[in-house]
Structure 1
Amino acid sequence: MPVHPVVSSRFHLLEGIESFEKGMADPSLRARLDEFMSITDAPAPPTVAVREDAAPGPHGPVPVRIYTPADEATGRPSLVWLHGGAFRMGDLDMPEADWTARQVCERAGAVVVSVDYRLCVGGVTFPVPHDDVVAAVRWVRDCTDTLGVDADRISLGGASAGGNLATGAALRLRDEDGWVPAALLLAYTTFHAVVPAPSLRLAPLLAEIPRLLRFLPEDRRSITENYLGGPASLADGYAMPANAVLDGLCPALLINSEYDDLRPSAEAFAGLLAAAGVDVRQVVAPGMLHGFLNLHAGVEAVDRALGLMAAAVRDGNGLPR
């Protein structure tokens, strides 16, 4: 289907903005970026209990934000959630983090732990964000009584770079702890240091997207090298899960954007998971671009994605069909 009008109607706001970094640094451009990313008529997200905490980690405390349903029930399902931002941007307040956590918390009756992992700026590189995520998941797993969650229904997920980090963490926990989450929830995630080329069907769709919203090979190379602190050849399976042995990984739900340069990576990774005998479900959010979880749940494709995620978290023993 065409690019959803809630997005395409705002493309004009991006004209003349060369990069998100430059746009964020210039007040006049930042205002346009904010207008593009924000949906002015967005309904308020669900109201749930929210508190701050921190997990101990090898690089210092890892801040987390915990979302809990209003009632006093225990033995809840839980989701450890990781925002995106190319490993170098993003925070717990962005809609992709906060709105998503609130929606899953309410829809699944789940405790959601959103992780403020260290970003790859100022000389920080892999494995620091990866280590932070592993530490946060271990903390949730060790604090199930305090958090009121079911130890057998801890899911792990993320969007974009956050999905990459979630998958790498699950692989390391499998290898070091002999434990995997109940499920992986991965939204518009990339798993390759070098993303496969788009299919003949996808390539013309991508031509409709403004340059600022594209992930061309040079963009992806810059993101990868900044994350790794060097060339793509440095990437092991924890940094880029397409390089990993995937046997024994938990069920995985992949939700891809229809209009996304990174979609071929997720599609190829789904094939690798299936070949390894992993239960995998892959769906496409029609009309959506990369980062669509920053839109509100009144958009049908967003609502459906959130519903699938909540069902996977709530069930904790397989993927919604």
Structure 2
Amino acid sequence: MTAHDIRDHDLDGPHGPLRVRVYSPKSPSRHGLVWAHGGGFAGGDIDMPEADAVARAFVDHGIAVVSVDYALAPVTTAWAARLGADERVGVHYPVPHDELVAAFLWAASSEIASGPWAIGGASAGGNLATGAALRLAHEGGVVPALAVLAYPTLQAVQAAPDPELRALLDGDPSADVFTPDFVRRMYENYLGSDPDTADVYAVPGTAEPTALASFPPTIMVNDETDELRVSGEAFARSLAAAGVEVAAVVEPGTTHGHLNRPEEAAFAATIDRFAARILQLP
């Protein structure tokens, strides 16, 4: 692996200090990616593989990465066991969303890479990246050139899986985590309110095609045995209905969170797929 420059920066964020980690390639392509890790909105950090290993893999392709250490939702008693974390006070929407928007605008105006700049994330980070891209598109200023989404959660009210996916989940009960009830509770924890009243930046999967017309081109990789596929694939259909260029694929043989497992072949396959699309940006 090539040596790259990796540095932390403390930004003057919209809700206080915001740490980002900048990965600068030794042989830059001029392309950049602002990236958000997953963790159910309440867990994860920029040292986890889904952040650090992902960023290192992208810079090996010459793509600069700004990994965002966004503020996390609370860890209640109910969530502590699920996340393997201690209980703590946290924040609610729109704090992490605002931080993703701010980090993207900072990166796009920096000298880290001349651009174009993409925005992306995994799981809950995919939600944050999608909501940020949608807001930036609606505001009409600097807009990401591409959305890069790995097994995102985009719906708080998630439909049941189709028979094919249901059969896969029944065959691997340990992968059957993101049930509609679980997902709704995850969003309630993140939002601190009823998901039914949330706006489209918090729950992008609720956006009508008319609201998605200015959304950037999108590449999405979903896990095969993962109930969040329902969410990602529904959003991909909405993008297509809005006339947005979207490529959504399923990574064969995967369960949720394969970018957090760099030892799996699917990790490199997904990074290579994403990197190739980013490097196509003019």
How high is the TM-score relative to the length of structure 1? 0.79
**Are residues 1:308 and 2:267 paired?**
no
* Structure 1 letter corresponding to 2:132: A
**Are residues 1:169 and 2:132 paired?**
yes
Moved more, 241-250 or 181-190: 241-250
For structure 2, list consecutive stretches of 5 or more residues without a partner in the other structure. 75-88
Q: Matched residue of 1:247: which SS? A: coil
Distance in structure 2 (CA, Å) of the matches to 1:266 and 1:240:
12
Q: Matched residue of 1:101: which SS? A: helix
Q: For 2:11, which of 41, 55, 60 is the aligned residue?
A: 55
Residues 77, 150 of structure 1: 8 Å contact kept: yes
Once the two structures are TM-superposed, the CA of residue 123 in structure 1 deviates from its matched residue by: 4.4
CA distance change for structure 1 residues 96 and 213 in 2, over 3 Å: closer, same or farther? farther
Q: Matched residue of 1:53: which SS? A: strand
Q: How does 1:146-157 map to 2 (within 5 A)?
A: 147=112, 149-151=113-115, 153-157=116-120
Distance in structure 1 (CA, Å) of the matches to 2:257 and 2:19:
23
Distance in structure 2 (CA, Å) of the matches to 1:104 and 1:89:
23
Q: How does 1:4-43 map to 2 (within 5 A)?
A: none
Residues 56, 135 of structure 1: 8 Å contact kept: no
* Counterpart position of 1:85: 39
CA distance change for structure 1 residues 264 and 60 in 2, over 3 Å: closer, same or farther? same
* Residue identity (%): 47
* Counterpart position of 1:28: none
* Counterpart position of 1:138: 105
Q: For 1:259, which of 201, 207, 225 is the aligned residue?
A: 225
Aligned residues: 265
Q: Matched residue of 1:89: which SS? A: coil
Distance in structure 1 (CA, Å) of the matches to 2:257 and 2:103:
23
Q: For 1:295, which of 232, 240, 261 is the aligned residue?
A: 261
Residues 100, 132 of structure 2: 8 Å contact kept: yes
Q: Matched residue of 1:96: which SS? A: coil
Residues 28-62 of structure 1, C-alpha deviations (whole Å, 9 max, x = no match): xxxxxxxxxxxxxxxxx664221100222210121
Distance in structure 1 (CA, Å) of the matches to 2:103 and 2:271:
23
Residues 133-157 of structure 1, C-alpha deviations (whole Å, 9 max, x = no match): 11100111121x3x1x123x10000
Residues 157-188 of structure 1, C-alpha deviations (whole Å, 9 max, x = no match): 00000000001001111122433211000000
Distance in structure 1 (CA, Å) of the matches to 2:101 and 2:159:
27
Distance in structure 1 (CA, Å) of the matches to 2:34 and 2:90:
26
Residues 193, 235 of structure 1: 8 Å contact kept: no
Distance in structure 2 (CA, Å) of the matches to 1:222 and 1:295:
26
Residues 129, 147 of structure 2: 8 Å contact kept: yes
Q: For 2:63, which of 110, 128, 131 is the aligned residue?
A: 110
Q: For 1:119, which of 72, 82, 94 is the aligned residue?
A: 72
* Counterpart position of 1:40: none
Once the two structures are TM-superposed, the CA of residue 299 in structure 1 deviates from its matched residue by: 3.0
Q: For 2:55, which of 101, 104, 123 is the aligned residue?
A: 101
Moved more, 119-128 or 248-257: 119-128
* Counterpart position of 1:30: none
Distance in structure 1 (CA, Å) of the matches to 2:139 and 2:205:
19
* Structure 2 letter corresponding to 1:310: A
Residues 73-101 of structure 1, C-alpha deviations (whole Å, 9 max, x = no match): 5x710000100000000000100100000
* CA RMSD, 1 decimal: 1.6
Residues 111-133 of structure 1, C-alpha deviations (whole Å, 9 max, x = no match): 10000000012141000000111
* Counterpart position of 1:203: 166
Residues 79, 110 of structure 1: 8 Å contact kept: yes
Residues 155, 316 of structure 1: 8 Å contact kept: no
* Counterpart position of 2:79: none
